[in-house]
Structure 1
């Protein structure tokens, strides 16, 4: 069997020796022109996830190869979880190649936010990371937003070079590439790249020819262990990740009041005058307000809380972060879960989240 045969859904090298390893296909199905591995078949048809043994280093090694080529890098970031979607040390990995930034999942943020404002916000954040893109385009792969603009930008900036689409897991690379394939190449649904909400769906480079000499490549998503999705049970991921426009929930908090976010995170307003807390999370995630003095007991009884994290049975097992609030607006971001926009005259909050989950304060996006 040709060792270079790959699954067109995830890029895994096809094999028929071990049903539990990636790329498995029964020998009877190997003679087809386009081969879909068993894992992708189960994802597409039964929404069933088969876990893989690939590590973060495996994905980084794939990214490292891009730095050795002369190419255009299309860097996808997630507007809903911008900080969680950043690839640390991206420039070090991709060398001197040009970078076109696509800010995806515009459809998740409220329609009232102007596209131009989002673009300027993204450019300011990229500047802090030392990234100088050839352009920044706001998009929604799911809604095919600005697809013609993106296609023209890729064709302009690639200058007859290969194109590599990079990003962390679940940023929407494969959804975006499928949109391009359907719009410009008239590819049928059964021949599209496998897409799911599960982290790490694409397992290897997937090559899509642009012309006789160059190709566009979908790359495996880089794993970011600090995102909440990596701690959730597979059946909970879809309900926790927003699938549609965020509906802000507004809370007026006094000091010594607490908000619980589905049992996955907690915010204590420790010190300060009455302030405005606007929560941007999935509509399926229940937010519960209580007095801080009752908050520990509430968590430990698991009342009014939705999701549980394996290994955490007591609130003391959560990691604590403290933030001094500026006067004005800021966001507190829980990576992979959502963010809270706080308008205050200063004060102090404490965030409690599972260990390894990233929490940070940033310039307000809305």
Structure 2
């Protein structure tokens, strides 16, 4: 990937005969990085490398690799599970739903209200809520993740009731009402105000461990300012 040769050069320059440990959150690609690092450093990959998988927890203990001369080693390590990442809070069956499989296909919902998205709410499965407080008619949202359905509530005033009725049943994951109760109520994390310009992507709003919501605007004169709350 981009940047791996530069990273490999820095590691070789800074390690000074010491062991090198690759650390990071679960399922971010540490094992794949090691393979790319070795290829960038030595022009090829050894026959035996740490196993990489879509499933977090594949690396269960530090794995030593003879990557350097002089006795020091390169270590692949188990992923760190971070509480703010959604996958860390899901049950195994729910985790399998959101893990990357195949090619990501961003979803841009059709706008059915003549007034646009303002005053409406989107739920991403039963895990994410985005309220559109104010927006020009031309604003569009694209949801970028794997295997997560988007549900549109036309009036934010109705969102709480529809969520309570649907989460864990029609809106999944979570995969059951009991699991939804264990996860607890959705908590407001951020209010975002963006400058929108025609045919420009304004921002990507990241949902840690799940994906992101891309905010953009169609060509029109009324693209001015939009506020989103989620």
TM-score (norm 1): 0.48
The superposition leaves residues 20-52 of structure 1 with CA deviations (integer Å, 9 ceiling, x where unpaired) of xxxxxxxxxxxxxxxxxxxxxxxxxxxxxxxxx
The superposition leaves residues 239-260 of structure 1 with CA deviations (integer Å, 9 ceiling, x where unpaired) of 3122333222223442111211
Which residue, out of 123, 126, 129, partners 1:266? 129
What does residue 22 of structure 2 align with? 165
Is the counterpart of residue 349 in structure 1 residue 228 in structure 2?
yes
Which residue, out of 316, 322, 327, partners 2:195? 327
Q: What do you get for the CA RMSD once the two structures are aligned?
A: 3.2
Higher relative contact order (CA 8 A, sep 6+): 2
What does residue 67 of structure 1 align with? none
Cα shift at 1:232 = 1.4
Question: Does the CA-based 8 Å contact 1:262-1:286 persist in structure 2?
Answer: yes
Alpha-carbon distance in 1 for matches of 2:163, 2:64:
48
What does residue 142 of structure 1 align with? none
Indicate how the Cα distance of structure 1 residues 222 and 314 shifts in structure 2: closer, same or farther if over 3 A, else same: closer
Name the SS of the counterpart of 2:20 in structure 1: strand
Question: Does the CA-based 8 Å contact 1:299-1:315 persist in structure 2?
Answer: no
The superposition leaves residues 87-144 of structure 1 with CA deviations (integer Å, 9 ceiling, x where unpaired) of xxxxxxxxxxxxxxxxx7xxxxxxxxxx6xxxxxxxxxxxxxxxxxxxxx16xxxxxx
Which residue, out of 141, 156, 165, partners 1:301? 165
Is the counterpart of residue 256 in structure 1 residue 141 in structure 2?
no
Cα shift at 1:337 = 1.1
What does residue 186 of structure 1 align with? 47
Is the counterpart of residue 232 in structure 1 residue 90 in structure 2?
yes
Alpha-carbon distance in 1 for matches of 2:184, 2:73:
51
Q: Which runs of 5+ in 2 are unaligned?
A: 197-201, 218-223
Indicate how the Cα distance of structure 1 residues 322 and 185 shifts in structure 2: closer, same or farther if over 3 A, else same: closer
Alpha-carbon distance in 2 for matches of 1:350, 1:299:
17
The superposition leaves residues 290-330 of structure 1 with CA deviations (integer Å, 9 ceiling, x where unpaired) of 21233222222216412127553499821123414221302
Alpha-carbon distance in 1 for matches of 2:208, 2:92:
17
Which residue, out of 150, 166, 184, partners 1:287? 150
Indicate how the Cα distance of structure 1 residues 278 and 184 shifts in structure 2: closer, same or farther if over 3 A, else same: same
Indicate how the Cα distance of structure 1 residues 220 and 153 shifts in structure 2: closer, same or farther if over 3 A, else same: same
Alpha-carbon distance in 2 for matches of 1:312, 1:265:
12
Q: What does residue range 24-63 of structure 1 map to in structure 2 within 5 Å?
A: none
Indicate how the Cα distance of structure 1 residues 269 and 186 shifts in structure 2: closer, same or farther if over 3 A, else same: same
TM-score (norm 2): 0.72
Q: What does residue range 134-153 of structure 1 map to in structure 2 within 5 Å?
A: 137=3, 149=5, 153=9
* Equivalent pairs, count: 201
Indicate how the Cα distance of structure 1 residues 207 and 315 shifts in structure 2: closer, same or farther if over 3 A, else same: closer
Is the counterpart of residue 340 in structure 1 residue 213 in structure 2?
yes
